[in-house]
Structure 1
Amino acid sequence: MKNLPNKAKYTTLGIVGIIALLVIWSFIEPRILNIENETATIPNLPNSWSGQQIAQLTDFQIGLWGDNRGTARRSIAKIVEAKPAIALISGDFLYHPGSNIESEIETTIDIIRPLVDAGIPTYAVLGNHDYGMSSRKAQPSTEQAEKLEIALEKAGIQVLENETVKLELPNSNEPLYLVGVGSLWASRDNVKQSLNTIDNNSPRIVMMHNPDTFEQFPANSAPLAVAGHTHGGQVRIPGFPQWSWLRFTQKDKVYADGWAKGFGTSGNQLYVNPGIGMSIAPIRLFCPPELTFFTLEG
């Protein structure tokens, strides 16, 4: 009984030490890039596209204090090294565009430019933060988003909003289609419009920012869909991705890290990338940044 006060003291010190280590690690983990390799099946995929790689990045959040631009640059370098058929960036390039938007856009373009210089076709959609929306109730800043879109297009990045583009490999006329949907929070999403230029049997990849858009797709219209937005929860309990910081502070439906099982209509598959950047604070805990490569198969 005499040792009880000492035991309590050591227990308290141990708990404080563990918390301190977790806090320190949460600032280190964003600098550790996780590379995921996935296989994706697309019906009616042309033979020339079978075995081709598609790279996906999302959520740079440039402009957040202590943002993760170093990891963003490393992820771009990894894509250039891998030389995939195309690269996809699914929104939230900026954190909260404001008075420093020109500088933040310049940094963003500087990070992405190596993809264009390497001749890798690169496509993007915009996210809620690109419209200055940190919540769904915020008023979208269309003017700021347009500045970003113009700069991206000028740099050679094609920005899609509710439209479909034809993808073709060199020395092949067998097309694969890319469907890009606008920002859900900014009320710029129109799934019906994005699909109206391709027939039902056309092989396609779908890109959106917010995974909640995915449930709007009719059955068998999005065999491979990619999204971002959730940061994988950003701070979470190991082994329980559904128990995360963002899970309890946002009202979005999807908080998947990877394949969102049981969501959407039949014949559709959604992959949610945890992204590179962060919201509110520049920390990640048990949720490292991710670059995803998809190998296509028919």
Structure 2
Amino acid sequence: MDRRTFLKSAVAAGVVGPVVGASYGLYEAGAVVVERPEVVVPRLPAAFDGLRVAFLADIHHGPYVDLDHVTAVVRTTLALQPDVVVLGGDYSTREARYIGPCFEVLTGLKAPLGVFGVLGNHDYWHGIAESHAGFRSSRIMELTNAGVWLERGSHRLRLAGVDDLWCGKTHLESALGDAHADDACVVVSHNPDFAEKLRDDRVGLILSGHTHGGQLYVPGFGAPIVPSRYGQKYLKGLVQAPATQVYVSRGLGTVTAPMRFRSPPELTLLTLRSA
């Protein structure tokens, strides 16, 4: 290869490379992956062994995430036939006008044991009143510092939720209610940093989102930006916190830029197992 040909090739690569990279990032942002982790939950009754929990976090309907994407997520969730559906917060981005339409689509979610959700920081930033109204209109049960008992025969499992760590006021005691030391408890917290200072032995598992898996992930380096005080620790997947375990979803939408790299959007179908 002569010098002129080399320079032409270098210029072409300099132009085409970023375009291809951006195109891939846009593609990956819409390519939802269904993750199917199995998680052992302490004290989980045998009656709940095999419970299938669909966990949807960080939908972020807005300029970058249209309603077709949200609708596809709902259809995929229904096809998975979960026993219960849990929403992890951050339903919209940028403006309050996106909140109502998102919840209207989410009304299509159904599960034998119910559909539940918590709030995230973007729900506060872009319209907390509209977010509360979205829960009411969709008949999705909001678990802001509250909880419910899921029952199978004479056995029960506590599903609880706490307020957003950044913008709300978390109150775990209210969420756990009358749960005893021998009860199995699953807590939903939008922000996984909540787990770092938790010291309640009743909590066997926390479900979180918020970090988007970094949204952009560089193998061998990690994610350049992680919205957590603890660096890469709560980036994604099953993480051991000081007193419990946390499953961190990569989320379904995007913020800041409508792209992902090596961190595809995630719809999680957890299977809970008794010890």
Question: What is the TM-score when the length of structure 1 is the normalising length?
Answer: 0.84
Are residue 272 (structure 1) and residue 248 (structure 2) matched? yes
Question: Which residue is equivalent to 2:108?
Answer: 114
CA–CA separation in structure 2 for the residues paired with 1:185 and 1:168: 32
CA distance in 2, matches of 1:40, 1:59: 21
Q: 1:234 to 1:224 in 2, by over 3 A?
A: same
The verdict on how the C-alpha distance between 1:252 and 1:111 changes in structure 2, with shifts beyond 3 A counting, is farther
Q: What pairs with 1:8-19 in structure 2 (closer than 5 Å)?
A: 8-19=7-18
Q: Separation in 2 of the partners of 1:221 and 1:69?
A: 38
Secondary structure of 2:247 counterpart: strand
Instruction: Label 1:89 to 1:83 Cα distance change in 2 as closer, same or farther (>3 A).
Output: same
Map 1:115-134 onto structure 2 (within 5 A): 115-116=109-110, 121-132=114-125
Q: Deviations over 1:219-270 (max 9, x none)?
A: 5333221101111111221454x333x33xx454254121224xx214x110
SS at match of 1:168: strand
* Aligned partners of 1:83 and 1:120 also within 8 Å: no
Identical columns (%): 26
Shift in Å, 1:164: 2.2
The CA distance in 2 between the partners of 1:157 and 1:216, in whole Å, is 29
Shift of the 5–192 alpha-carbon distance from structure 1 to 2, 3 Å rule, reads: farther
Deviation at 1:190, TM superposition (A): 2.2
CA distance, structure 2, for counterparts of residue 110 and residue 119 of structure 1: 20
Root-mean-square deviation (CA), in Å?
2.1
Q: CA deviation at 1:201?
A: 1.8
For 2:216, the aligned partner's letter is V
Q: Which structure 1 residue ranges, 4+ long, deviate > 6 Å from structure 2?
A: none
Distance between the aligned counterparts of 1:218 and 1:166, measured in 2?
Answer: 22
- Where do 5+ consecutive residues of structure 2 fail to align? none
- Give, in angstroms, the shift of residue 291 of structure 1: 0.5
How far is 1:58 from its partner? 0.6
1:260–1:8 distance in 2 versus 1, CA, 3 Å: farther
- Are the equivalent residues in 2 in contact too, given 1:30–1:289 (CA < 8 A)? yes
Query: Distance between the aligned counterparts of 1:62 and 1:71, measured in 2?
Result: 8
For the residue of structure 2 that corresponds to 1:73, the secondary structure is helix
CA contact (8 A) 2:25 2:261 kept: yes
Kindly tell me: are residues 62 and 8 of structure 1, through their superposed partners in 2, closer, same or farther at Cα, counting changes over 3 Å? same
Q: Which residue of structure 2 aligns with residue 229 of structure 1?
A: 210
Whole-Å Cα distance in 2 between the matches of residues 177 and 150 of structure 1? 25
**1:101-138, CA deviations, whole angstroms, 9 ceiling, x for partnerless residues?**
xxx2331122211114x6561110000000116xxxxx
Aligned AA (1:112): L
Compared CA separation, residues 45 and 255, structure 1 to 2 (3 A):
closer
Residue 284 of structure 1 corresponds to: 260
Partner of 1:6: 5
1:190 pairs with 146, 171, 182, which one? Answer: 171
Does the 8 Å CA contact 1:60/1:69 hold for their aligned counterparts?
no
What CA distance in whole angstroms lies between the structure 2 residues aligned with 1:259 and 1:36? 12
Pair 1:34-2:33 in alignment: yes
Q: For residue 159 of structure 1, what is the aligned residue in structure 2?
A: 142
Kept after mapping to 2: 8 A contact 1:206/1:222: yes
- 1:20 deviates by 1.1
SS at match of 1:243: coil
Partners of 2:125 and 2:223 in 1: CA distance: 27
- Cα distance in 2, alignment partners of residues 243 and 82 from structure 1: 30
CA contact (8 A) 1:273 1:292 kept: yes
Amino acid in the other structure paired with 2:132 = E
Q: Per the alignment, in what secondary structure is the counterpart of residue 108 of structure 2? A: helix
CA contact (8 A) 2:215 2:223 kept: no
Q: CA deviation at 1:197?
A: 2.7
Shift, 1:210, TM fit? 0.7
Does structure 2 retain, via aligned residues, the 8 Å contact 1:90–1:124? yes
Q: Distance in 1 between matches of 2:137 and 2:101?
A: 14
Query: Could you state the TM-score of these two structures normalised by the residue count of structure 2?
Result: 0.90
Q: Which runs of 5+ in 1 are unaligned?
A: 134-143
The answer to whether the 8 A contact 1:51-1:297 is kept is yes
Q: Give the AA of the match of 1:3.
A: D
Which residue identity is paired with 1:186?
A: C
